[in-house]
Structure formats: structure tokens, C-alpha cells
Amino acid sequence: MAADTRLDTARAASATLNVADAGPRLSLMQRFQNSRNALGWSFMLPAAVLLLLFLTYPLGLGVWLGFTDTKIGRAGEWIGLENFEFLVGDSVTLLALFNTIFYTVVASVAKFVLGLWLALLLNKRLPFQSFFRAVVLLPWIVPTALSAIAFWWIFDAQFSIISWALVKMGLMNHYIDFLGDPWNARISTIIANVWRGIPFVAISLLAGLQTISPSYYEASAIDGATPWQQFRHITLPLLSPIIAVVMTFSVLFTFTDFQLIYVLTRGGPLNATHLMATLAFQRAIPGGALAEGAAIATMMVPFLLAAIMFSYFGLQRRAWQQGGDK
């Protein structure tokens, strides 16, 4: 009897030791699973590694090349700010900077206004609503090079369908040189960019409109609010966080646009449509001056950071999310 009691006691002690040994390991795993920070970092790690390899390294290399005199086929040496000093006084670079800012501001404002109007229209109860929402995405889905070739034909000096229609209607007696005149070319490229970018803005803002409760509009209608007052005091404040994010991406996409300009005009005529991105490519690859092209690309970074910081600080305004006036 005493032997059985001692045997049971030993087994219980052994089980207690096993539980004690497994306890810390189990609790450590549980703490990891219950920790939002640990799980968040573990999920972000693969993406962070990819970004480090394919984004951070090329960016750092490009900045480094901007401070050298590297050319294609020849390793360069450190020359400090000489490339940037040259570019500040280079008339073509300054023209490209003006073109980029003008192109970005006008196209972004047009995309926002037209995209918001389209989103408000698609948010209403319309016949074939799903069909129209799908069709709106087509300009965004079509490859950029294909869109540029289509606009190249539309704006052609000899075969433009716009000029043909205007002449046939008797509104003009000659064809318009859309891509041969500097200002015509600037406006034409902006029109092509706006046509391609409106769907992104419209669908994104439409998703934001879907999150606004209809009860706000019902309550304001009972109080006698007009549609304009509803838009100003309900729709716009509650949609502002989405607008900040969407317009930040829109500005970034427009500022760094390359394919549309390069296929449509290649920077011409007379460098009138050269953007910073296209000029950087032209100087670095066809021109062979890798360092100069890298310096032009590096000069774009402050403008991109300014757009990102504007969005970041804008999203910190909790009054936007609460529909406040501040």
C-alpha cells in the first residue's frame, strides 16, 4: 500500500515537472501570437526584404551615381555637387521642371474634379449601374503604351479624327497641329493623362462614398439642407481622408509619368513636353551620361517627399474624419 502511494506520488511529481518544462515554451508562443507588434513585424518582414532589395538599393545607387561622373562603359569618380550645379543652370532641365509641375498640377486638379463628379454620379441609383462602373475602369486597365498610341493617332497632324470632324462641320478650315506646337502638345499630353487617370480617382472616391451612412443625408434633408449644403458639410468632410490618399497617389503617378510622354511625344517638340522622368532617361541611356540622368532623377525626390508629407499630415487631422470644420 505504501509502495503504491509512493509510486503515485512519483508519477504526479514527474507530470508536474513535464508541465513546468512545457509551460514556458507554450506561454512564449502564446505571447507571440497575442502580441500585435510581433505578428505585425513578422508579416511585414517578407515585404520589407523585397522592398529593401528592389527599391531601397536601386534608389541608393541612383543617388550615389548623381554625385559621380559615371558614364556608360566607364566607372566614375566622386565629384560632389557638380552635376547638380550644372543642372540648376541648364535651360532644358529647368524647362523640364516647369513642364513637370505644370503637367502635374493641371492634370491632378482635372482628374480630381472630373473623378469626384463621376464618383458622385455613379453613387446614384442608375440603370445598368454595375455595367457603367465596370466600363469606367477601361481607361485604367488598358496598357499605357496602347493608350498613348491611340492618342498619337487622335492627335496626328494629318489624320486626326478631331481635326477631320471640325473641318467637316465647317468650324475650321485647317487641321490642328496638336503635337507640333509646344503649348498644343502640353495640353494634348495632359488630356491623355487625365483620360487615363480619371478611373482611379473615380472608383477610389466611389468606394469612400459607399462608407458614408445615408442617415446623415436623411437627417440633413429633414432639417432643410440643400444638395450643395449636404455635399459641403457631409460628403466632403467625411470623404477628405480618402481624397488625401487618392490625390497623393495621383500626384505621384503624374509627377513620375514616363510611358505616356515617351510614346506620345518623346519630349518634343523643342523639349516642350519633357518631364523630369523622360529627361533623366534621355540623358542617362541614349545620351550615355548615367550620372547626369541619376542627378535629374534625384532632384525629383524632394517633390515626391513633399507630396507624401502633405498627405501624412493631412490624415492626422481628426476633424476631417469626424466631419469637423477645422
Distance CA 135, CA 144 (A): 17
User: b/e map of 205-229 (b: 16 or more CB within 10 Å)?
Assistant: bbebbeebeeebbeebeeeebeeee
Average pLDDT over residues 248-270: 92
CA angle, residues 16, 19, 25, in degrees to nearest 5:
150
Taking only the tens place, the pLDDT of each residue in 173-213 is 888 999 999 999 999 999 999 999 999 999 999 999 999 99
Residue 1 burial (CB count, 10 A): 5
pLDDT for the residue 6? 53
The amino acid sitting at 228 is: W
Distance CA 148, CA 50 (A): 31
Query: Which residue would you say has higher pLDDT here, 12 or 194?
Result: 194
pLDDT for the residue 296? 95
pLDDT for the residue 5? 54
56 has pLDDT over 80:
yes
Q: How confident is the model at residue 320 (pLDDT cuts 50, 70, 90)?
A: very low
- Lowest-pLDDT range, 135-144, 257-266, 273-282, 289-298? 135-144
Average pLDDT over residues 45-64: 88
Phi/psi class of residue 170: alpha, beta or left (left: φ > 0; alpha: ψ in -120 to 50)? left
31 Cβ partners below 8 Å, 6+ apart?
38
CB 274 within 8 A of CB 96: yes
Nearest to 260 by CA among 177, 156, 164, 186: 186
Taking only the tens place, the pLDDT of each residue in 66-84 is 999 999 888 889 999 999 9
Taking only the tens place, the pLDDT of each residue in 98-128 is 999 999 999 999 999 999 999 999 998 878 8
Fold classified for 67-322: MetI-like fold (1.10.3720)
- Decide: pTM greater than 0.85: no
E strand map for 27-129: none
**Would you kindly state where each structural domain of the chain is located, as residue ranges?**
1-34, 67-322
Query: Which residue would you say has higher pLDDT here, 188 or 9?
Result: 188
| Mean pLDDT of the chain, nearest integer | 85
Phi, psi of 70 (to 5 degrees): -65, 135
38 has pLDDT over 90:
no
CB 62 within 8 A of CB 68: no
Distance CA 28, CA 292 (A): 54
Distance CA 78, CA 66 (A): 9
